[in-house]
Amino acid sequence: MSITTSDAHRTPDISPKSRSRWLALAVIAVAQLLIVLDATIVNIALPTAQKALHISDADRQWMITAYTLAFGGLLLLGGRIADFTGRKRAFIIGLLGFAAASALGGLATNAFMLFSARALQGAFGALMAPAALSLLTVTFTEPRERARAFGVYGAIAGGGGAVGLLMGGLLTEYASWRWTLLVSTPIAIIAALAAARFVGESRAEGNTHYDLPGALTSTAGLVALVYGFTKASEDGWDSPTTIGFLVAAVLLLVAFVVIELRSSHPLLPMRVILDRNRGGSFLAALLIGSGLFGVFLFLTFYLQITLGYSALMTGVAFLPFTLGIILGAGVSAQLQTRVGPRLLMFGGLLMSTIGMVMLTRIGVDTGFWTHVFPAELVISFGMGVTFGPMSNTALVGVADHDAGVASALINTTQQIGGSLGTALLNTIFTSAVAAYIVDRQATASDPASLTAAATVHSYTVAFWWSAALIGLAAIIALVLVKAGREEANANAGTAVMV
């Protein structure tokens, strides 16, 4: 397919085939919303669920970690399965499995049943997510339409977490914590039925053998890495358990790279990540996930503990984040075919870095409207500008045979980055609290005030680290991503529906 200058200015296609594409986008957007939403919707419901199922403080984190471990660890394999078995088929299976797992979690009678359901959600999400992005790639081939489609996808990917926090607060306060899981079941079933009607099939051609050694080592290595960082936040970096899992992760991931270099049908072809545009996008996504999770984690604590917000009001307080994402994604979609992804990624990430620095100004006596609200808007607008071009650039020049695994890597890097970043920032936060109290307890007259000040100070330390991570992502986007307007637009016309 060739794209001429006049193509960009032609009359919009309103044929039934065109309308079907946009209906397919709606289905894909709903699926992506489910994936992102379920990573955060249970956060606010966690205390209630812990009390209802008699979960210990040591085990309660598995309600979140079971999902992220399964999702991040199985994404690469899920991408290859989608490539070879058919992306529409994998997408529908993922949706139906996600619906069943959500129902299982909502009906859980004990901790093991709940944690197992969350792991199943992550596993089916790992099949659904790369299939969804691959379908988006091969469905929209005209540059202007593709930019709009990726803008919608980026808005969902960036704003879904904040929507999850709002829904979690609403459902927990006015219904039950169980509905934070049950609500996904009917939505996923309806999306699967719509996908069967409106989404076209697409699959990789040629060699369709599975790289089982690569799948085992990559999955085990990623799970060990995430679990090692999770244990570090609980037991410390010098814990034998932490060290053991991190060493095992390094050995498994090195073994994975060796296997991929020698395999005739690798799970992750090195050609996918060694391209500087795609590699830069994947590395930026990893750093964004690491830094952005600090906003949701510590800002939630600040709103509830320091400002005294209820679960519902905490969710409402994240609405500006969703608004900023939508606005930024809209601007990005309009500019992507004019200025190219590189400048949009750099500008968006730089803006988000500035917003994160603005959050470091919070204090014990500061308010939401003066300190949190402006920072939320700046961070989220920058992320809205970034996500669409980043997803597009991560697929620049990728062969159709590798579209699923390339799509999986976008989600893998963000999810693994979020898991690692959460553990890292939580460890930094804990250390900062202890150091602040030790330095000032001799002269403090009120222990409660000292603890409050130490907590807020440590939030700001975490925000500084988050700003550094996102700022580094901006530099990487500027230095490594070289794809301009012409290359991104040309890439939009290379994929076709099978």
SS (H, E, C) the chain: CCCCHHHHHCCCCCCHHHHHHHHHHHHHHHHHHHHHHHHHCCCCCHHHHHHHCCCCCCCCCHHHHHHHHHHHHHHHHHHHHHHHHCHHHHHHHHHHHHHHHHHHHHCCCCHHHHHHHHHHHHHHHHHHHHHHHHHHHHHCCCHHHHHHHHHHHHHHHHHHHHHHHHHHHHHHHHCCCCHHHHCHHHHHHHHHHHHHHHCCCCCCCCCCCCCHHHHHHHHHHHHHHHHHHHHHHHHCCCCHHHHHHHHHHHHHHHHHHHHHHHCCCCCCCHHHHHCHHHHHHHHHHHHHHHHHHHHHHHHHHHHHHHCCCCHHHHHHHCHHHHHHHHHHHHHHHHHHHHHCHHHHHHHHHHHHHHHHHHHCCCCCCCCHHHHHHHHHHHHHHHHHHHHHHHHHHCCCCCCHHHHHHHHHHHHHHHHHHHHHHHHHHHHHHHHHHHHHHHHHCCCCCCHHHHHHHHHHHHHHHHHHHHHHHHHHHHHHHHHHCCCCHHHHHHHHCCCCCC
CA distance 409 to 403: 10
CA distance 170 to 177: 10
Over residues 211-256, the pLDDT tens digits come to 778 878 887 887 788 778 777 767 778 889 999 999 999 999 999 9
Over residues 83-132, the pLDDT tens digits come to 778 889 999 999 999 999 999 999 999 999 999 999 999 999 989 888 88
pLDDT, position 489 = 55
Over residues 364-418, the pLDDT tens digits come to 989 899 999 999 999 999 999 998 888 888 888 777 777 767 777 877 788 778 7
pLDDT, position 267 = 76
pLDDT, position 295 = 77
pLDDT, position 117 = 95
Q: Is the pLDDT of residue 29 over 90?
A: no
> Of all residues in the chain, what percent carry a pLDDT higher than 70?
88
Over residues 441-493, the pLDDT tens digits come to 877 778 888 888 999 999 999 999 999 999 999 999 999 988 766 555 555 43
Q: Is the pLDDT of residue 354 over 90?
A: yes
Over residues 79-93, the pLDDT tens digits come to 778 877 888 999 999
Q: Which residues contact 15 (CB under 8 A, 6 or more apart)?
A: none
CA distance 423 to 426: 5
